[in-house]
């Protein structure tokens, strides 16, 4: 850890933090008696806190972000070199890293064509929603403007994204919401809502979307926004047949498919994008977190050429283009970092590592499930795994979330950071989340699951 920080400096920093920083997604009352956590340094898959304590980061910066790990000098250098050449110009003009990164990104996304830059996952999704709305106005007299979202999915923190959010605890008290967003049921087979499904649970769950479309009126539904694998809503891997049926439904009713790759994008599931695990062709793909692994703020809304064409097909109409701007979408640090991030994923063969280490993580978690009855279900795709905790395997009664949090806390004591669903779903914040950097080694994976084993042994009697 940084040798320049002495204990005097650190206590000043903690006091400044306590006095002035409003941390994200956390209750501050406890900070009146305990110190807020400050992460001081990171290297590879490890981070060090203000006390110099080392942690193995099993959640890539807390929220699935630092895909290539900490301390990458080559990314820092690429950003530095770009900043001294040109740090910024508004996105109505192009930039060298913007053009080069777009070309490299589109190479990995057959069928997609155009990249719109902004800064956060929420913002990227808002752009997608605006595109769907503008298309509704252009093509369908404004009528086909509803956007479907799925129970348990999350698309961001702005009011429109919360209006498209399937996690009631994230949205509560922030209404009134934006009209025109309609919920469809979740697709978590472990909590099957339909009983025996002859066609298979995946097809049944997708058909539930069709039921909503028919109820709302297909001529009023313009788009659907879905996570390829639901993240904060409990690491929900789609059941067999689900995505293929969703695709058929979208084609049948002329509904734009917007896939939110904010978590899965850039390798998390072992493919460049989560949707590439399934037979599906999106119209709009959004991405953020792993795009530059947190070395710079960048998000992208990527569309097909067909979608893009709709915004330039009549140049005599002064309103016929995407009248949107993101000031910081013109920052060049984002694409400069993102290009180097992609190079690292390729040169270090991190997609294959993600597949191999993800298989080891799932296998270790399944072994733990044999030992600990409290693990009701293990789910995962690549280095994106969850273990749902229940008090009774038959009734699937969720484990009390205070106990879930104490398991996370016990791992933290052991120097291993894991996550859990957090203020998402009333009574169902009971899934442990694992998403180490794509550079994870077999030892790292075993250390994570050993910590969980010890925590469960200590806490669950």
Ligand X SMILES: Cc1ncc(COP(=O)(O)O)c(C=O)c1O
Query: According to the binding rule CB under 6 A, does residue 163 interact with ligand X?
Result: no
Interaction of residue 454 with ligand X, rule CB under 6 A = no
- Residue 231 near ligand X by CB under 6 A: yes
155 touching ligand X, by CB under 6 A: yes
Joined tokens for residue 386: 């969850």
Segment 279 to 318, residues that bind ligand X, using CB under 6 A? 288
Give the DSSP letter of residue 64: I
In the complex with ligand X, the residue whose CB is nearer, 227 or 410, is 227
Q: Which residues contact 347 (CB under 8 A, 6 or more apart)?
A: none
Q: Which of 244, 245, 249, 282 is nearest to 264 (CA)?
A: 282
Question: Is 49 among the residues that bind ligand X (CB under 6 A)?
Answer: no
Residue of 147, 225, 255, 262 that binds ligand X (CB under 6 A): 262
CB of 58 to ligand X, least distance (A): 17
Residue 419's SS3 state is strand
Q: Does 376 bind ligand X (CB under 6 A)?
A: no
Q: Name the CA radius of gyration of the chain, rounded.
A: 22
Size of the site for ligand X (CB under 6 A): 16
Q: What is the end-to-end Cα distance of the chain in Å, rounded?
A: 37
Question: Contact with ligand X (CB under 6 A): which of 154, 243, 272, 434?
Answer: 154
Please select the residue that binds ligand X; options are 151, 189, 227, 388, rule is CB under 6 A: 227
Q: Which residue has the tokens 């949107």?
A: 324
Nearer to ligand X, 150 or 155 (CB): 155
**Per-residue interface string for the shown chain with ligand X, residues 101-130, x marking contact by CB under 6 A:** -------------------xxx--x-----
Phi first, then psi: what are they for 183, rounded to 5°?
Answer: -85, 140
Tell whether residue 263 is a contact of ligand X (CB under 6 A): yes
Q: Does 260 bind ligand X (CB under 6 A)?
A: yes
Residue 127 is classified by DSSP as H
- What's phi and psi for 431, nearest 5 deg? -115, 125
- Identify the H or E element spanning 37: none
* Residues paired with 41 in a beta bridge: 48
Residue 63 found at the interface with ligand X (CB under 6 A): yes
> Which residue, 157 or 391, is less far from ligand X as judged by CB?
157
The C-alpha atoms of residue 48 and residue 381 are separated, in whole angstroms, by: 28
With CB under 6 A as the contact rule, which of the stretches 100-108, 148-156, 171-179, 371-379 interacts with ligand X?
A: 148-156
Near ligand X in 166-195, by CB under 6 A: none
Q: How far is the CB of 98 from ligand X (least distance, A)?
A: 19
> SS3 breakdown of the chain: % helix, strand, coil, rounded to 5?
40, 15, 40
**Cβ at position 319, least distance to ligand X in Å:** 28
Type and span of the H or E element at 40: strand 39-43
**Residue carrying structure tokens 């850039």:** 266
Q: Give me the phi and psi of 258, to 5 degrees please.
A: -105, 115
**Shortest distance (Å) from residue 271 CB to ligand X:** 16
Q: Which residues bind ligand X (CB under 6 A)?
A: 63, 120-122, 125, 154-157, 227, 231-232, 260, 262-263, 288
């Amino acid at each position: 850890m940084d040798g320049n920080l002495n204990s005097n400096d650190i206590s000043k920093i903690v006091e400044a933090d306590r006095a002035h920083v409003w941390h994200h997604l956390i209750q501050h009352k406890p900070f009146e008696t305990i110190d807020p956590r400050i992460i001081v340094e990171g290297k590879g898959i490890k981070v060090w806190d203000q006390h110099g304590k080392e942690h193995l980061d099993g959640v890539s910066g807390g929220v699935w972000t630092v895909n290539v790990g900490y301390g990458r000098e080559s990314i820092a250098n690429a950003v530095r070199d770009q900043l001294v050449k040109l740090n910024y110009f508004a996105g109505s003009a192009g930039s060298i890293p913007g053009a080069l990164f777009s070309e490299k990104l589109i190479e990995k996304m057959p069928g997609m064509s155009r990249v719109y830059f902004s800064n956060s996952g929420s913002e990227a999704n808002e752009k997608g929603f605006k595109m769907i709305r503008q298309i509704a106005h252009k093509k369908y007299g404004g009528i086909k403007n509803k956007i479907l979202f799925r129970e348990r999915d999350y698309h961001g923190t702005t009011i429109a994204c919360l209006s498209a959010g399937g996690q009631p605890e994230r949205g509560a008290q922030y209404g009134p919401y934006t009209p025109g967003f309609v919920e469809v049921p979740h697709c978590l087979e472990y909590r099957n809502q339909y009983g025996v499904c002859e066609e298979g649970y995946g097809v049944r769950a997708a058909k539930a979307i069709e039921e909503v479309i028919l109820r709302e009126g297909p001529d009023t539904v313009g788009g659907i926004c879905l996570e390829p694998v639901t993240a904060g809503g409990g690491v929900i891997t789609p059941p067999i047949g689900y995505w293929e049926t969703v695709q058929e439904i979208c084609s049948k009713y002329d509904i734009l498919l917007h896939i939110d790759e904010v978590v899965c994008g850039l390798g998390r599931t072992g493919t460049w994008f989560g949707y590439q695990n399934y037979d599906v062709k999106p119209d709009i793909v959004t991405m953020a977190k792993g795009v530059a692994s947190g070395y710079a703020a960048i998000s992208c809304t990527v569309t097909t050429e067909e979608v893009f064409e709709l915004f330039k097909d009549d140049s005599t109409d002064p309103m016929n283009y995407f009248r949107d701007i993101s000031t910081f979408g013109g920052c060049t640090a984002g694409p400069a970092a993102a290009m180097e991030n992609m190079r690292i994923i390729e040169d270090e063969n991190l997609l294959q590592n993600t597949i191999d280490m993800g298989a080891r993580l799932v296998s270790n978690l399944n072994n733990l499930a044999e030992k600990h009855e409290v693990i009701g279900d293990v789910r995962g795709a690549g280095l994106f795994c969850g273990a749902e905790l229940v008090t009774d395997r038959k009734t699937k009664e969720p484990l009390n979330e205070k106990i879930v949090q104490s398991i996370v806390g016990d791992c933290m004591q052991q120097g291993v950071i894991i996550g859990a669903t957090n203020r998402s779903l009333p009574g169902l914040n009971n899934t442990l989340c694992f998403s180490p950097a794509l550079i994870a080694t077999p030892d790292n994976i075993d250390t994570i699951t050993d910590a969980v084993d010890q925590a469960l042994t200590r806490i669950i009697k």
